[in-house]
Chain A
Amino acid sequence: MDVELRGITKRFGSVVANDNVNLTIRAGEVLGLLGENGAGKSTMMNMLSGLYSPDEGQILVDGKPVEFDGPGDGIEAGIGMVHQHFMLVPVFTVAENVVLGVEPTGKMGYLDMKRARRQVEEINEKYGLHVPPDELIEELSVGIQQRVEILKVLFRSADVLILDEPTAVLTPQEVHEFFGIVNTLKEAGKAIVFITHKLHEILEISDRVSVLRQGRITGEGYPKDLTEADLAEMMVGRPVSFTTAKNTATPGRTMLELEGVSMLDETDDRVLDNVSITVRSGEVVGVAGVQGNGQTELVEAITGLERIASGKITFDGENISHASVRERHKMGMAHIPEDRHKSGMVDSFTIAENMVLNNYYAPEYSKGWAIDWQKVAETAARYCVDFDVRTPSVFLPGGSLSGGNQQKMVVARELERETKLVVASQPTRGVDVGSIEYIHERLIGSRDEGDGVLIVSSELDEVLGLSDRIYVMYDGRIVAEFDNTDGKADRNTVGLAMAGSFGEDAA
Chain B
Amino acid sequence: MIKFTFLIWLIIFLGFAPVAEGRVTPEDIVVAQKESYQKSTESYTDASKMKLDNLQKDILNLNRKLTAELDYAMVVQALILDEFEVRAEGKYKSQIEDARYWITFAHEAVAYQAAKTYIPRVTGEQNFKSDASSTIGLFKSEIFSARLKVFKAEGIVKGLLKNEF
Do A and B actually bind? Answer: no
